[in-house]
Amino acid sequence: MADIKITFPDGAVKPFANGSTTADVAKSISISLAKKAVAGKFNGELVDYEAPLTEDGKIEIVTKDTPEGLTVLRHTASQVLANALHQLYPEMHFGQGEASDDGFSFDTDNADHQVSSDDLPAIEAKMKEIVKANLPISREVLAEADALKLVDGDPYQTQLVKQAAAANDGQVAVYRQGDFVDLSDGVQMPSTGDVKIFKLLSVAGAYWEGKSSNPMLQRVYGTAFFNQKDMDADDVRRKEARERDHRVIGNDLDLFFVDPKVGAGLPYWMPNGATIRRTIERYIIDKEIQHGYEHVYTPVLMNLDAYKTSGHWEHYREDMFPPMDMGDGEMLELRPMNCPSHIQIYKHHIRSYRELPLRIAELGMMHRYEKSGALSGLQRVREMTLNDGHTFVAPDQIQDEFKRILNLMVEVYADFDIKDYSFRLSYRDPKNTEKYFANDEMWEKAQKMLKGAMDDLGLDYVEAEGEAAFYGPKLDVQTKTALGNEETLSTIQLDFMLPDRFDLHYVGADGEEHQPVMIHRGLVSTMERFTAYLTEMYKGAFPTWLAPHQVSIIPVSEEHQGDYAEKLRKQLAAAGVRVTVDDRNEKMNFKIRDAQTHKIPYTLVVGDKEKQDDTVSVRRYGHDESTSEASKDFLSDVLNDIASYSREN
């Protein structure tokens, strides 16, 4: 059999016997590389370490210290998990296994015994037995009929077999671990003994194929690493993430709740959470008005034709709720975006160049048709209120207005003490311009303007070709959640398309009509997502100006100091401080601990001496010691704390 030619990343070409494996190639380079290798990438596709190579091609050796190598390990761990579950629960049905940046998982369904967190130690012990057995793992390709016999009527596996066969000319790939055979489309390690360092983490419900109309399965989560050091670091990261999880903190501090029985993805804001949200809303409205924005209110419903004109119906229909037929030919739609509404504000009057830039802003409620499986606390919801703004500018005003928006954005971040963020300029793909709004001259000019503005402001940024919106280039501000996921916190987008589609004009100095450019911008995302972000960033210990309860007053004795505590409460409340008196029939130390547990910035303890001297004993959140202050001095201090956005002067 003729040799095959293998091309290496450096361009070198070497002959190998037909049927050689990635292992053979790695060993031919060095023994140390072979020890680190776990798979190959042949002609751009991942292949098993021991899979025969039967044609010429380019190869990359995938090692343990690469993300792809970790994915291979976790694919194998998910199959070891399935093997363990099959041995423990022979009647169990199986959905899909998955490897991800965060670990691995497998979906299960068992009428007699759904997996719970109590079962994880036993499952983990069985997995360790399988790992210790060091079973060889091999890939086989079966005909559809043979694969259907193998899954033996499992409804989920049967569906997966049929889908795989339809996509691969009737062929279905499976992996064998000893007597256990399972469907898998992910490359795996050579042996179960390679999965040495792993841990099962949790169990949660997950709809089959992510659709709420399908059965709810039990998803078992775990993670795996090649060395204990990485596992230990991951443990620390997960502990930190649990401490910052806004869903946990939201429950502990009674900020919000979501009840699927009355509406999945529709959060109810409790008084504490509503106070935080209201403070953010008042802040951002006042800040925008100071910067020249005019705030408006627009309806949450709009005629479907507007979204057909805007392109939302064409491009985002799957994310929109079904239209409502009003019975007289009118079709109304819950809005997924606010921009068409602000366009109507612009169009309501004939506009002059003297009015530009025209800045319109709104806390606009929107609705998105999110799948149930994607919903998460306040971060992914079906109803949201966006801190939205649109500026209508003449083309020669783009760069200056972009700078103004960016300066406002940085100012807002400073007030919220947001420091860990980065900028990304997104351009159109120069090799695939047909999918973008057709105006080459405008694209080139706009992209240069945005880049020039960033350079003028001296800000670091990365450039990303192909990530622009189809209607214009944009700037995204990227940050990280408590779980380490990157998300877009704010954005500034240029839009040439909507002014054209909605036939927007202004009368120029020459008396002629000209088309404006529209700038979309969201400073702090939606109220839901921003509150979740802040909750995780602060770990629930909100700075004084944002805290739902800023001061808690605890009288040593309600009978003897209750009147003084009430007097202090009235003074603070009259000055705008959010203050309560804890007059519960509990011991004082319990009340102090409770105030700390609820992360109230200031706890004031007042006894006979404080009442006599008109002073307060002040304990700040996170501090063990207390200080004595005159009541008027404390009032001045707390008002200064609030006015300075809790930043040290």
pLDDT of 257-280, one tens digit each? 998 888 889 999 999 999 999 999
pLDDT of residue 397: 92
pLDDT of residue 448: 84
pLDDT of 617-626, one tens digit each? 999 998 888 9
Helix 120-133 × helix 67-88 angle, to 10°? 110
* 246 occurs within a structural domain: no
Residue 470 clears pLDDT 80, i.e. is over it: no
Distance, in Å, from the CA atom of 569 to the CA atom of 580, rounded to the nearest integer, reads: 7
Report phi then psi at 111, rounded to 5: -60, -35
With cut-offs at 50, 70 and 90, classify the pLDDT of residue 646: confident
pLDDT of 568-613, one tens digit each? 999 999 999 999 999 898 888 899 999 999 999 999 999 999 999 9
Helix (H, G, I), strand (E, B) or coil at 393: strand
pLDDT of residue 483: 61
* 398 occurs within a structural domain: yes
On whether both 525 and 506 belong to a single domain, the answer is: yes
Question: Which domain range does residue 136 map to?
Answer: 72-231
Number of other CB atoms surrounding residue 647 within 10 Å: 11
For 234, 413, 487, 540, the CA distances from 420, given in Å and listed in that order, are 21, 10, 12, 18
Given a contact cutoff of 8 angstroms between Cβ atoms, the answer to whether 553 and 570 are in contact is: no
On whether both 514 and 630 belong to a single domain, the answer is: no
pLDDT of residue 278: 97
- The CB-based long-range contact list for 455-461 (8 Å cut-off, 24+ gap) reads 456/403, 457/403, 457/406, 457/407, 459/406, 459/423, 460/422, 460/423, 461/422, 461/423, 461/424, 461/425
Ranges 41-55, 198-212, 525-539, 609-623: which has the least confidence = 198-212
Given a contact cutoff of 8 angstroms between Cβ atoms, the answer to whether 479 and 489 are in contact is: yes
Given 492, 511, 538, the domain boundary residue is: 538
Range 355-380 average pLDDT: 89
> What type of residue is 192?
T
Spatial CA neighbour of 626 closest among 640, 649, 605: 605
* 151 occurs within a structural domain: yes
Ranges 105-114, 129-138, 285-294, 380-389: which has the least confidence = 105-114
pLDDT of 493-538, one tens digit each? 888 889 989 999 999 999 999 999 999 999 998 999 999 999 999 9
Distance, in Å, from the CA atom of 498 to the CA atom of 485, rounded to the nearest integer, reads: 32
* Residues forming a β-bridge with 359: 391
Distance, in Å, from the CA atom of 175 to the CA atom of 157, rounded to the nearest integer, reads: 14
* 92 occurs within a structural domain: yes
Spatial CA neighbour of 225 closest among 345, 461, 67: 67
Spatial CA neighbour of 523 closest among 416, 370, 396: 416
Range 91-98 average pLDDT: 90
Distance, in Å, from the CA atom of 213 to the CA atom of 250, rounded to the nearest integer, reads: 28
* 649 occurs within a structural domain: no
pLDDT of residue 365: 95
pLDDT of residue 229: 95
On whether both 305 and 451 belong to a single domain, the answer is: yes
Q: What is the CATH number of the domain that holds 129?
A: 3.30.980.10
* Residue list, annotated binding site for Zn(2+): 339, 390, 520
More confident: 405 or 152: 405
Helix (H, G, I), strand (E, B) or coil at 56: coil
Q: What is the CATH number of the domain that holds 18?
A: 3.10.20.30
* 274 occurs within a structural domain: yes
On whether both 194 and 112 belong to a single domain, the answer is: yes
pLDDT of residue 108: 92
| Contacts (Cβ under 8 Å, ≥6 apart) of 623 | none
* 546 occurs within a structural domain: no
Report phi then psi at 400, rounded to 5: -65, -40
Ranges 59-73, 85-99, 311-325: which has the least confidence = 311-325
pLDDT of residue 164: 87
Q: What is the CATH number of the domain that holds 617?
A: 3.40.50.800
Given 21, 38, 63, the domain boundary residue is: 63
On whether both 488 and 636 belong to a single domain, the answer is: no
pLDDT of residue 550: 96
On whether both 109 and 204 belong to a single domain, the answer is: yes
Number of other CB atoms surrounding residue 541 within 10 Å: 17
On whether both 417 and 491 belong to a single domain, the answer is: yes
On whether both 511 and 585 belong to a single domain, the answer is: no
Q: How many domains are contained in the chain?
A: 4
Distance, in Å, from the CA atom of 413 to the CA atom of 402, rounded to the nearest integer, reads: 17
On whether both 299 and 345 belong to a single domain, the answer is: yes
With cut-offs at 50, 70 and 90, classify the pLDDT of residue 482: low
* Residue list, annotated binding site: 339, 390, 520
Residue 439 clears pLDDT 80, i.e. is over it: no
* 544 occurs within a structural domain: no
Range 454-475 average pLDDT: 85
pLDDT of residue 588: 87
Helix (H, G, I), strand (E, B) or coil at 92: coil
Q: What is the CATH number of the domain that holds 534?
A: 3.30.930.10
On whether both 424 and 519 belong to a single domain, the answer is: yes
On whether both 40 and 118 belong to a single domain, the answer is: no
Given a contact cutoff of 8 angstroms between Cβ atoms, the answer to whether 305 and 315 are in contact is: no
pLDDT of residue 415: 94
Given 231, 247, 275, the domain boundary residue is: 231
83, burial (CB in 10 Å: exposed 0-12, middle 13-18, buried 19+): buried
For 230, 409, 446, 504, the CA distances from 360, given in Å and listed in that order, are 49, 16, 21, 15
Report the percent of the chain where pLDDT is more than 70: 98
Spatial CA neighbour of 191 closest among 290, 340, 79, 116: 79
On whether both 489 and 570 belong to a single domain, the answer is: no
pLDDT of residue 551: 96
